[in-house]
Amino acid sequence: MINVIELFAGVGGFRIGLEAAGGFDVVWGNQWEPSKKAQHAFDCYARRFEGQGEHSNEDISKVDGETFKNEDIDMIVGGFPCQDYSVARSLNGEKGLQGKKGVLFWEITRLMRETSPKYVLLENVDRLLKSPSKQRGRDFSIMLASFRDLGYSVEWRVINAAEYGQAQRRRRVFIFATKNETPYVDNRRGFDETQMIHGEGFFAKAFPVKEGISEKKKPQSFIMKKDLVEISDEFSMSYYNAGIMRDDLVYTEEVTPLEDSPTPLKDILQSDVDEKYYLSEAAIEKFTYLKGPKRIERTSATGHKYTFSEGGMAFPEALDKPGRTMLTSEGTVNRSTHVVEDPQTKRLRILTPVECERLNGFPDDWTEGMTDRMRYFCMGNALVVGLIERMGKRVSQIEQENIDGNQVELDLVFSETDGQ
């Protein structure tokens, strides 16, 4: 079994995916929503995984590393917030570096130092690769350099779930780090970076891409600076949707997925839907405006006049296509909410909470027990479980390689429900 710590667990998407892959034991999971009295996500997590490992509902910065001293932690996973990762020297220079307080990425690196896992698998919004806007790529560069300093190699890929058979066009960056002294890393020293991204690396096996190099976005490589403060103060970089860092060498390339057929919206819709999800005439009128094209003259705070414009959206949604990216505001009257024509009644309605769970690959009624508003919110924050299942199978393959010491040539076998 691969022993796992799950951070920023939400309602357990990482755990569901890893358990579906098999061979993983989530021994400790943490979910805490600051400034909230009601801990809906944690309550759901604790209820669904009752009696399975320890469940922590506390500020991760207050979790002592001694918590894991008797645990053999193999892997850390988590979907962490995109924050400001800038660092500076402490007032007393020899005390080292200090990052901004409350930045949760530093808690990940702290737990990595204290548990020394073989693997780290993280998820974030894809804009992480370009943040902040005034110093593009700085934050991701700080992350890469931090992993390097801890003795890890890193691979990353931006994945659109619908391009690999899922029901939602949800783009997220996934980051896989593994210890340098493992057979997995050593066995691939003879492969160059392009070979890693296209065939031999972590993501290449589970999420294949087309051969060939982008003509518009030429691959880039560079040696990562040693000084984290210098990176924070001065460094910028345009990262593409795939890449790898081994030792100090960073390579990034724009890849094109070898797509699977996505799951269309019609396949995740329920029948006999409750009347409360159907739209009133007033709501239809409001949605028609919100989703329609607009050109509106506005005046800025400084008195400058400008024209705000946005294109129209499909209204209702096309049922033969996968859903759009689901946000935490799903289910409210706003531009991003999905509106469908119910196949049975031919009337317009919003998606039900169960349908939103299906968009992310969760079991039906996983979030039952909280209000509909919170169910939508939790699913808007969640990840697509089917992607994690694929990654879990890939980690298991690498674990076997690390145990045997030899590169394994097993093909990943995905279940027929991977695209559901």
Nearest CA to 119 among 82, 42, 174? 174
Place of tokens 């931090």: 146
For helices 13-21 and 385-404, give the axis angle rounded to 10 degrees: 50
Burial zone of 327 (CB within 10 Å; 0-12 exposed, 13-18 middle, 19+ buried): middle
203 CB neighbour count, 10 Å cutoff: 24
Give the C-alpha separation, 34 to 363, whole Å.
Answer: 27
Phi-psi region of 211 (alpha: psi -120 to 50; beta: other; left: phi over 0): beta
Give the C-alpha separation, 31 to 95, whole Å.
Answer: 31
Tell me how far apart the terminal alpha carbons of the chain are, to the nearest angstrom.
26
Give the C-alpha separation, 279 to 276, whole Å.
Answer: 8
Which residue type sits at 139? D
The bridge status of strand 348-350 relative to strand 339-341 is antiparallel
9 contact partners, CB below 8 Å, separation of at least 6: 15, 29, 30, 31, 41, 42, 45, 78
DSSP secondary structure code for residue 196 in this structure: I
Which of 44, 82, 356, 378 is labelled catalytic? 82
- Cα-Cα-Cα-Cα dihedral sign, residues 355, 356, 360, 363: negative
The bridge status of strand 24-30 relative to strand 54-56 is parallel
Which residue type sits at 85? Y
The bridge status of strand 305-310 relative to strand 294-299 is antiparallel
Q: Residue ranges of the alpha helices (H) in 130-216?
A: 138-149, 183-186, 193-195, 202-206
Whether 44 is catalytic is no
Active site residues: 82
